[in-house]
Amino acid sequence: MKLEKIQYSALNARQRENFNYQKVAAELAEYGFVTHRLSDDWHGADFIAQHVDGETFLKVQLKSRLTLAKKYLGKNLYICFPYGKQWFLHPHDALADHLLGITGIGATSSWTATGLYTMGTISKSTLEHLQRYAL
């Protein structure tokens, strides 16, 4: 059998989510995490990342882009997303506090009306801040 790589752009939304989960699970393994996929969002999490130290458990929401959401506030969630060839895993509330404090996100209709803000393109200053969360 000859295996051929797939084109990410040809995948539907569910297939993309599965693809991204497999990619980030492999990336997190490099940091000593085993991931456990959840059948539905549990307290906002798509999967749990369990560290080999036996003490660290992260509730992770997987996204295709940088995302902030009011519904995730106060849930001790991490958001994981790719940007370019890099994966980021950040604590949702800490990044939300930072970005709401230094940008105009909090005044956008997206944030005020729907409680959701996503970034397809990330500014240089935000990307510099995100480097601390790069995998």
Residue linked to tokens 């992770």: 60
Q: Residues 95-119: pLDDT tens digits?
A: 999 999 988 888 999 999 999 999 9
Per-domain residue ranges for the chain?
8-133
> Does residue 60 surpass a pLDDT of 90?
yes
User: 6 pLDDT band (50/70/90 cuts)?
Assistant: very high
> Does residue 84 surpass a pLDDT of 80?
yes
Q: Of all helices (H) and strands (E), which one includes residue 21?
A: helix 13-29
CB-count burial class (<10 Å; 0-12, 13-18, 19+) for 95: buried
What pLDDT, on the 0 to 100 scale, is given for residue 40? 82
Q: Residues 37-54: pLDDT tens digits?
A: 998 878 889 999 999 999
Q: Which of these CATH numbers, 3.40.50, 3.40.1350, 2.60.40, 2.40.50, describes 8-133?
A: 3.40.1350
